[in-house]
Amino acid sequence: MDSGSRFYFRMALLFWVICLGGASAYSHHSPPANGIFVDTIPSPDVRELPEVMVTAFNVHRRLLDVPGSVSMIPASRIERENPITLLPLLNQASGVFAHAGTLNTSRITIRGIGARVPYATGKIRAYFNQIPLTNGSGISILEHIDPSVIDRIEITKGPASSAYGAGLGGTVNITARQPAGRPSGIGIRTEAGSFGLMQNSITADLGKGRSSSSLVYSRTRSDGFRENNQYRRDALTSVTSIQAGENTSLTALLAWSDMKGEIPSSIDSLTFHTSPGSAAQNWLRTKGYEDTRKLLAGLSGRHWFSDQLAVDASLFGTVHNEMEMRPFDVLYEDRSSGGGRAKASYFIRSDRVLLEAMAGGELFLEGFQYNTHENIGGEGTQGIQLSDNKEFIRAFNLFLQADLEVGSMNVSGGLNLHSTRIDYRDLFRIGGIDRSAVYQYGAIVSPRVSANYRYRPYQAVFLTLSHGFSPPSLSETLTPEGFVNPEIRPERSWNIEGGLRGNLWGHRVFYDLNVYSMRVQDLLVAERVGEDAWVGRNAGESVHRGLELEGELVLIRRPGIAPSQGLSTSGASVKQPGNAGPWWEASSLSLRPVLTLSQFRFTDFTDRGTDHSGNHLPGIPFVSGQLSLNGDFKGGMYYSGAVRFVGEMPMNDANTRYSDPYVLFGLSLGYRHKLGPVSLDAYLKLNNLMDRHHASMILVNAPTFGNAPPRYYYPGMPRNLAIGLVLQYGL
């Protein structure tokens, strides 16, 4: 039996063990009236709990009934951890691996997609309150969003969401805090930590009549632990909800950020092991940095024309300005984009049947101007202009989707039609040659079909077959001479997956398990031809196979306490009267495991005369996971602990270099107290407790110039701590 067969055999065995275990665990329970995660006869220390609702696949439904893979990160986890960026949160979702080189340099991958994008997140769609965070070049930028303004994150894995363009890797949907569900009040948070970390934020929530608003301003600063590593981010986010009549609701979002981060860049193996706080010498000499300002604005609404017909629509716009000082040049980028989304939904309901049919589309328009200037001697002084370019990008998605629920069966089908056109203008004309051109690849049709079946009151199984694609950016279509190559094709894939999710042993265990296989064709390879120059080409195919597991084991749950994952709508602990007792008595204790097993290989890939077929894709660990312990005491104390494991990963296509595996330990302790209208929350966070030396980001296929060794490594943070205080005053 080869390694691939053994891998699938182990996954199938685990799949059916859980399936049979679930069946036996519920052989003595009668069906619930409403089909949600509740025992018919609760035990004395268990009460009925609300169900998890998600909006995956553009349909609002129970997580138990979702016909596909989706991970949800609730508000309670975000508030408890209060990270500086979203990256630590995304790493808690199975199938997702986020490299974090610095606070302003990261790369997010889903099921191995995007792993070979050098310094950014590509081939993954991202939205913030229906506003695209993915620009016209296919890069999704999430570092600018302040985590404290987020209500929830839903990650749809694989090319399965036809309503958002059938992205190759998946879709990250971020929802801003909902002012309508919050009491009026003012909150202040301050946090100080190692390496000059300082976070301050002020929050105002106000509700009156049919309207409510939430305003959050935050400022984050850090000196970093490396040379040339300072960071600053100011962010202001406003969300307003209006109930304009009985059948119409509106939501307006305005998000502004101003970020400046120095760039220490990656370092070679010797420096990584002997002096991890050092910056790359060329970036240190030029004092490299990026300075970015971004504004997002969006207005969305829903109107019910009747009990059967609803229309959702949104308008959005983005302005992004960036300047980057680099050893080899000085880069200026200006992007302005806008567009809209619309969806019409028609419902047919009966006692046992629900049919929802929808049709809609998204139009995205972007103007992108970028130019470079000489960096004189690499010393950080701007010189003459070297290039000047413009791109006008038009993309649209049209989609159809139908979801049919009959009893315990849910069948969903979708179809997406996508087209992108890039009009490239060469304004500099080096050597008097005009390289302007239009790039387009025609329309791509991506179908999806999936089914979910609740074979037990608390157990469900799903199966999905879907098609996805990843359009190339203009830079990936250019020849070494700078001309557009019209023969470059988008990457395409077919994905098949199946999974189980459910609830066992009287709500003590929640699990979500899936296995998948995805074959990517027309694989795009970015061949480096200079220090900051790549040439793209279609070079073969790869196969992505894996297993993803998320779960929760409730060890202690007193009456009135809801566990944080899988069972409650927000994930927050819901405290009810009647919990009197000693302060040291635990009111809740839960264990949350996350596991990802990955086997991604090139099946047909030759690069510059070297055949890499059969090699593993670089930049993704074979095994990764996290085990989290969360608990609360009745006296107001709470605590969290986490162990994160990252296995070895190949660092280049040839598989001649591998990163070292590592284990990180984290711990946080806190105390909450409420006195009249004032609430207090004080906390202490300890990260990397064992001071483990590790690489938090790998530069895949790191190049060499001259006699310099390749710079693969971004060192991870050593042991660090932070203390914080949150004060809230209810109006």
Q: For 233-260, how does the pLDDT look when each residue is reduced to its tens digit (9 = 90+)?
A: 999 999 999 998 889 999 999 999 999 9
Enter the tokens of residue 271. Answer: 């420096």
pLDDT tens sequence across 706-721: 788 999 999 999 999 9
What lies within 8 Å, CB to CB, of 240 at 6+ separation is 179, 211, 212, 213, 214, 251, 252
- pLDDT beyond 90 at 405: yes
Give the list of residues 6+ apart from residue 102 with CB closer than 8 angstroms, or none.
224, 226, 229, 231, 261, 263, 264, 714
Strands 211-222 and 437-440: unpaired
| Count, residues in the chain | 731
Quick one: fold of 3-730?
Answer: Maltoporin; Chain A (2.40.170)
Alpha carbons 222 and 262: distance in angstroms, whole number: 11
What's the predicted TM-score (pTM) here? 0.88
Q: Is the C-alpha dihedral spanning 349, 354, 359, 364 positive or negative?
A: positive
Confidence of residue 359 (pLDDT cuts 50, 70, 90): very high
Quick one: pLDDT at residue 532? 52
598 touches 621 (CB < 8 A): yes
The pLDDT tens digits for 506-550 are 778 999 999 999 999 988 776 655 555 556 778 789 999 999 999
- Please state whether beta strands 695-698 and 713-715 pair in parallel, antiparallel, or not at all (unpaired): antiparallel
What per-residue confidence (pLDDT) applies to 21? 37
Q: Which amino acid is at 133?
A: L
The domain limits of the chain are 3-730
Which tens digits make up the pLDDT trace of 14-72? Answer: 433 333 333 333 333 333 322 222 233 333 333 333 467 777 777 777 888 888 899 99
